Structure 1
Amino acid sequence: MAMLTHIVAVGGIVENEQGQVLLVKTQHGGWVFPGGQVENGENLIVALVREIKEESGIDIMVSSLVGVYSNTATYKWHDGVTDVPTKVMLDFTCKPLGGELGTSDETSDSRWVDKNEVLELITAPAIRTRFQAYLDFSGNTTYMEYVTKPNFAVKLERTI
Structure 2
Amino acid sequence: MMMTIRIGGYDVKRVLVDDGSGAEIMYPNLFNGLKLKDEDLEKSDSPLVAFNGKQVIPRGMIRLPVQVEDAEVQVNFIVVRAYSPYTAILARPWLHAMEAVSSTLQVMVKYPIQGRVGILHSSQSVARQCLMSASIRTGQGSSTGVTTKAL
Q: TM-score scaled to structure 2, two decimals?
A: 0.30
Structure with the bigger RCO (C-alpha within 8 Å, sep 6+) is 2
